[in-house]
Amino acid sequence: MRRKWVLPAVAAVTLTAGVTGGMYLGSSEDGPLKKWIGKMETDGEVDKQEKAAVNDKELGKVEQAYDLILSSYVEEVESDQLVEGAIQGMLTTLDDPYSVYMDKETAKQFEETLDSSFEGIGTEIGIDEGKIIIISPYKNSPAEKAGLKPKDQILKVNGESVEGKNLYETRLKIRGKKGTSVTLEIKRDGVANPIIVKMVRAEIPLESVFSAVKEEKGKKMGYIELTTFSVNTAADFKNHLQKLEEQNIQGLIIDVRGNPGGLLSSVEEIVGNLVTNKKPYLQIEERNGDTRAYFTNLKEKKEYPIAVLMDKGSASASEILASALQEAGGYPLIGDRSFGKGTVQQPVPMGDGSNIKLTLFKWLSPDGNWIHKKGIEPTIEVHQPDYFNLQPLAIDKTLKRDDNSEQIKHAQEMLSGLGFESSRDDGYFDQRTEVAVKAFQQQNGIEVTGKLDQKTAGAIETALIEKIKDEQNDIQLKIALKYLAK
């Protein structure tokens, strides 16, 4: 799985979608949905005058509150602040984390980050039940190397709480010049105390397609990983697939694990290479309940079998791909249940540099299922081993026999993942935990003390990261290869 770290200028658009953990219709959109958007604009024109009269009455109360706050609040307030608060407040009532307002400044800084690459820690973030969470770190990014995991909740950035912050504000705090460092405070399910993770920012490349040929039972299997769905992804996918087919692959794995989504047009084009026109690959539901089915132009299916790898970080466009391949293509989904985002957004400019990215419709699977907040169940459910949920070990003082702490609990779980069973994993440093530590130290050329010091903790962490990176331990991939070769 060697990758080229190329920085294409256009692929940067991916981020726009990626950062919200979602998919949207970009301005270059020319898929089947364009017509709908045109319709919307026309509608808006028709009853504009009628609406204005109604608004005057309904918004009168907003104006009354606006006047009161401006004139009487204990401190001077900027009118801009109230206007943006009002818009933010209206969007909040929708209870939809994907409908967001970007003020001028945020939108401007955001545009700048779209240039050709960006500098940061390389992770998608999203909102789940009001919390800002990691969707998935990019491959080989500082975020991945530091052990950040999908569903980790971000509590603080550089000591500052993200409570009440939206995704854009949070993302802008995380990003920064290459070589500078940023500290996140993370809350992870099942871990009582927040985890502090310090990372050095790097240039994050935006290549979204990676491929390889893998051997299984003497058969050549094509493997294509999609990390996001950007403007270039579909064309890149086609090129990679063509090269694989030239090598006479006898099966294909499409890996969308940790892929947070992206452009609808991009996933539509990819699905167009794989799923025939016998069934719709997607349905779109408008707010009046009307649904419309969309079909590819493909007549013949591929001669080789296909499988999709997905996990809880596979969201939005990844889920469109997965459900199309499963329900329309009859191909299996292997891995964990997916994220569950079944809506489509479009950014609407407000005319002053700010914009509102609004959820316009739902997408349904070929069979008409809405997977929002549910995710897609895999055809073959395969979980990675427990030790894939690595927690960084923060050892500030040496831990030893009879000590009792959360850190020891993590160390016990990690030692267990490395094959050094310590009989208990509840944080109490018993005699068998000591034996496990000694055995690990022995095997790794560290002075055998039986104590958990910083050096030993660091070595445990490194050993586990190596083990996770080793493709031999990627059980989901292994099952997929076995499935295709049978």
- Sites of contact with a copy of itself (CB under 8 A): 40, 43-44, 51, 54-55, 58-59, 61-69, 71-77, 79-94, 96, 99, 101, 129-130, 161, 163-164, 192-193, 287, 343, 348, 350-352, 354, 356, 358-362, 402, 404-405, 424, 426-428
181 catalytically annotated? no
Range 111-114, long-range pairs (CB < 8 A, 24+ positions): 113/12, 113/15, 113/175, 114/12, 114/13, 114/15, 114/16
CB of 282 to a copy of itself, least distance (A): 16
Is the CB of residue 406 less than 8 Å from the CB of residue 191?
yes
Element containing residue 183 per DSSP (H, E) = strand 181-187
State which residue, 180 or 404, has the beta carbon closest to a copy of itself.
Answer: 404
341 catalytically annotated? yes
397 catalytically annotated? no
CB atoms within 10 A of CB 35: 10
Is the CB of residue 133 less than 8 Å from the CB of residue 153?
yes
Angle at which helix 431-443 crosses helix 406-417, to 10 degrees, equals 50
State which residue, 97 or 313, has the beta carbon closest to a copy of itself.
Answer: 97
Measure the CA–CA gap between 342 and 375, rounded to whole angstroms: 9
State which residue, 63 or 215, has the beta carbon closest to a copy of itself.
Answer: 63
The one catalytic residue in 316, 338, 391, 422 is 316
State which residue, 89 or 179, has the beta carbon closest to a copy of itself.
Answer: 89
Is the CB of residue 444 less than 8 Å from the CB of residue 414?
no
The one catalytic residue in 345, 365, 407, 476 is 345
State which residue, 187 or 301, has the beta carbon closest to a copy of itself.
Answer: 187
- 99 CB-near residues (< 8 Å, 6+ apart): 91, 345, 356, 357, 358, 359
The one catalytic residue in 341, 357, 409, 467 is 341
Distances (CA, A) of 90 to 39, 84, 85: 24, 10, 9
Distances (CA, A) of 335 to 133, 359, 374, 465, 475: 21, 29, 15, 20, 9
CB of 175 to a copy of itself, least distance (A): 24
Read off the tokens for 463: 């050993």
Measure the CA–CA gap between 227 and 318, rounded to whole angstroms: 9
Q: 3-state class of 285 per DSSP?
A: strand
CB of 76 to a copy of itself, least distance (A): 7
CB of 417 to a copy of itself, least distance (A): 20
State which residue, 77 or 394, has the beta carbon closest to a copy of itself.
Answer: 77
Catalytic residues: 316, 341, 345
